[in-house]
Amino acid sequence: MEVKMSSSQYVERKGSCELNPAVTEHLLKILIIGDGNVGKSSFVHRYVNGQFNKTYKMTVGVDFSVKLLNWSEKEKVRLQLWDIAGQERFISMTRIYYKGALGCVVMFDVTSSSSFLNCRLWKQDLDNKAMLLNGDSIPCILLANKCDLTQRVVSADSINRFSKANGFVTWMETSVKENKNVEQAMRRLVQEILSVQSSLDQIHPTCQEHVTPQVDSEDHNNRGESCC
């Protein structure tokens, strides 16, 4: 199996000849950012484990999950999901967490106007600290979570304008609780990342190597692996 990755955090895979050479595996590091309590960890838990927990357990630093997608007959996609703590006290660490990311989810809670307004700061923080090999911003999707709740305070119109003005690939309403648009949002983001990476690979062909992921930070927990 051929494994492709464009990030500098990956090193050469040993023994890849034992794997199926007809299948390419893409390794993508994806960040999940946004204010505390908006539903980031719930989103990852739903996407990876298919479950929802209504009790809030604040993330400390970062949590780390992996999901393997059978993208097509010839392509697998291994997602490394970096679920970053949204509480202010952890924000000083983001530069380290963002390193090598190829895509990002920015999430807010539709019942919290401050979490929506802070998406501008999260996106700016991301664009200042992470970029693609060609200097462009990494593909980013905006998620308006908790759309199952009736006490909504952020309109679709303002989200749409904000998304366009701040360079998001697109935006979607999600309800992690009701499993609305969770798979669809990730699919859209992965599509965009693969398309951007394929254009970059044409410009930087030397980045296409047989590689395997190597974690460069120790303060995260591996929460396990899931395959669709």
Q: Kindly list the residues in this chain that would bind ligand GTP in the complex (CB under 6 A).
A: 36-42, 53-59, 85-87, 145-146, 148-149, 175-177
7 binds Mg ion (CB under 5 A): no
Residue 155 binding partner per list Mg ion, ligand GTP, none, with a CB distance cut-off of 5 to 8 Å that depends on partner kind: none
Query: Which contiguous run of DSSP H or E holds residue 140?
Result: strand 140-145
Q: Is 115 in the site for Mg ion (CB under 5 A)?
A: no
> Is residue 145 a contact point for Mg ion (CB under 5 A)?
no
Say if CB 138 and CB 131 are below 8 A apart: yes
Rounded to the nearest whole angstrom, what is the least distance from the CB of residue 41 to ligand GTP in the complex? 3
Determine phi and psi for 39, rounding to 5 degrees.
115, 15
Cβ partners under 8 Å of residue 4, min gap 6: 24, 25, 26, 27, 197, 201, 208, 209, 211
Residue 41 touches Mg ion, criterion: CB under 5 A: yes
- Does position 94 bind Mg ion by CB under 5 A? no
Question: 81 by DSSP, 3-state: which?
Answer: strand
Q: Which does 149 bind (CB under 5 to 8 A by kind): Mg ion, ligand GTP, none?
A: ligand GTP
Cα–Cα distance between 61 and 91 in angstroms, integer?
A: 9
How many CB atoms are located within 10 Å of the residue 227 CB?
A: 11
Nearest approach in angstroms of CB 39 to ligand GTP is 3
Residues 220 and 97: their CA atoms lie apart, in Å, by: 10
Q: Least distance (Å) from ligand GTP to the CB of residue 32?
A: 8
**Pair 42, 135: CB distance under 8 Å:** no
State the nearest-atom distance from the C-beta of 127 to ligand GTP, in Å.
20
We find the least distance from the C-beta atom of residue 178 to ligand GTP, in angstroms, to be 7
**Among ligand GTP, Mg ion, none, what binds residue 50 when CB lies within 5 to 8 Å by partner kind?**
none
Cα–Cα distance for residue pair 128/139, rounded to 1 Å: 14
Q: Residues 6, 7, 59, 197: which binds Mg ion (CB under 5 A)?
A: 59
Using CB under 5 A, list all residues that contact Mg ion: 40-41, 59
